[in-house]
Chains A and B, each alone.
Chain A
Amino acid sequence: MARLVVLGAGVAGHTTATFAKKWLGNGHEVVVVTPNSLWNWIPSNIWVGVGGMSKEDVVFPLAPVYQKAGIDFRQAKAVSIHPEGKDGSDTPYVTVEYTGQNKEGQTEEITYDYLVNATGPKLNFDATPGLGNGEGGIGSNTVSVCTADHAVHASQELKQVFEKAKRGERQKILVGTGHGMCTCQGAAFEYIHNIHHEAEKAGVRDNVDIKWISNEAFLGDFGMGGMHMKVNGYVVSSRIFAESLYTERNIPWIIGAHVNKIEEGKAHYELLDGSTGEEEFDFAMLIPPFAGAGMKAYDKAGEDITSKIFNPGGFMFVDGDYAPKPYDEWKAADWPRTYQNRDYKNIFAAGIAFAPPHIISKPAKSPNGTPINPTPPRTGMPSGIIGKAVAHSIVDLIKNGSSAHLHEASMAEMGAACVASAGKGLTGGQAAAMTIYPVVPDFDKYPGTGRDTEYTFGEIGLAGHWIKHILHHLFIWKAKLKPGWTLIPE
């Protein structure tokens, strides 16, 4: 009987755990370690952030679902990995610290045969002074929509801003990224357009200035170096697509910006050309940069081997090619395929937790040396696909031994469907529906745009909103393991 320990119950971890359990049955053990008691469908948080949904609509308690599935659930935070065991035992284990289940603060060692690191990101608010409260939480100056609780807070603040605007006070809203190395521009993109939509519905749009600020080199980069997609029979850069949408909605943009300091009602930033500026606001939603969850690793002797297993950002090394190379030597083949740790073959990393070999956008620095470039998104559909492939590999390893064939899910051979909401409403809503193939551009296969324009496509309209709404229910259904959940693709 083997034991698989999954750290994290986000899209990647939950997918890995549920599929592994389904395939392994009761013959083996699946343990999930996560500090949160609730599962959260993160893509819908932006709707919570504008008051279109309540927190209850986007979360559900994990414990009953795992109990029914026969998964051992520990509401705890992973602290360290000991892949070689310790003195007197070769069995690898992780130490965890409970955050719930009436064992708060207790630590425990959980041994594993196979480990999946799917801890997701740490929301690194501290990277920018004023962005957070110094404890990794959200500060009083800006709001966030990264968690359901953050989004609830954001919606309350936004309501006040709208009320002031209704009374005739001019309000300034700033949405974007709070640091030069942020990813997840998509969420901020959705949020700004949802704010615009809600402001119009509330009849206060004329009294509200909405502005975008982000670390992208151009609007529509999204951390993927932009993309060229089919629109109306033309192939266009996502830059035109995005700029058009912002123009249509009268949202000006500041681009290539590293937000380096937040004060009450004011954001300071540095631009790619080295110039600096500041922007005042009454309400700001700035996405924090992501870091690894901050786990440590120790060898048998108790020596710290964190830097061997994790990159300096705290993301885990897997089977990617991490040799530093200049931008034009980057290859699609550098990207990991199996997500197996390069040193410990029984450890895998899925979702945001794995270290990408390099960013996808073109790296850029300001003259002062500040790197200002979006880091690659690893959320949503790719997370799910990677989680499932990793589960598949581990199940085969358990069943067939170490000679088993590993399953592959390279982001350079993976497409993604992405629906970015631009306003909620059954008949008045809109969303940009995009498909992109592959996520990481492959210039050898597709010289020019790096992607297959037959499958890279974008369109905005009500249909996109319907899709996003259906996906919301579909994925919550799937995550709850309700009948037919395996039929729903990642």
Chain B
Amino acid sequence: MSVEENFAKNSEFNLSMVPSKFASFMRTCVIWQFIRFVAINLKMIIVVRKSH
């Protein structure tokens, strides 16, 4: 509820996607982020390999 009040503060905020409590929590949830860490690394390695 706290972050979505931002919508009211500024009309230009209206085209945004503001994370809910769950999404915010997942962003700093260590277990989930470890999984994402591996996934992002794989994605990055692919791009690095494509670039050389």
Contacts and interface: CB of A to CB of B under 8 A. Distances in A.
**Touch A–B, Cβ below 8 Å:** yes
Interface of A: 240, 243-244, 246-248, 250, 252-253, 381, 385, 409, 413-417, 427-428, 430, 433, 435-437, 455, 457, 459-464, 466-467, 489-490
A437 B36 contact: no
Interface residues of B, number: 33
Contacts of B30: 427, 462
16 contacts: A246-B16, A381-B48, A385-B52, A415-B47, A415-B50, A427-B30, A435-B43, A455-B50, A459-B40, A461-B26, A462-B29, A463-B39, A466-B33, A466-B37, A467-B37, A467-B40
Interface string B1-32: 00100110110110111110000001111101
Interface of A is mostly: mixed
Nearest to A414: B51
Given A416-B51, A457-B43, A467-B44, 19 more contacts: A240-B15, A243-B12, A246-B13, A381-B51, A413-B51, A415-B48, A416-B47, A427-B28, A427-B30, A455-B50, A462-B28, A462-B29, A462-B33, A463-B33, A463-B37, A466-B33, A467-B37, A467-B41, A489-B52
Contacts of A385: 51-52
A461 B33 contact: yes
Contacts, number: 99
A433 B44 contact: yes
A461 B6 contact: no
A413 B34 CA distance: 30
A459 B50 CA distance: 20
B12 A459 contact: no
A243 B47 CA distance: 25
Give the one of A409, A428, A459 with max B CB within 10 A: A459
A427 B30 CA distance: 7
Contacts of B50: 415, 437, 455
A463 B36 contact: yes
A248 B18 contact: yes
B10 A252 contact: yes
Given A243-B13, A248-B19, A250-B9, A462 B27 contact: yes
Contacts of B12: 243, 252-253
Contacts of A455: 43, 46-47, 50
Identify the 9 closest CB pairs spanning chains A and B, nearest first.
A247-B16, A415-B47, A463-B37, A462-B33, A463-B36, A247-B13, A244-B16, A417-B44, A463-B33
A385 B7 CA distance: 42
Contact of B47 (A244, A248, A435): A435
B38 to A, nearest CB: 8
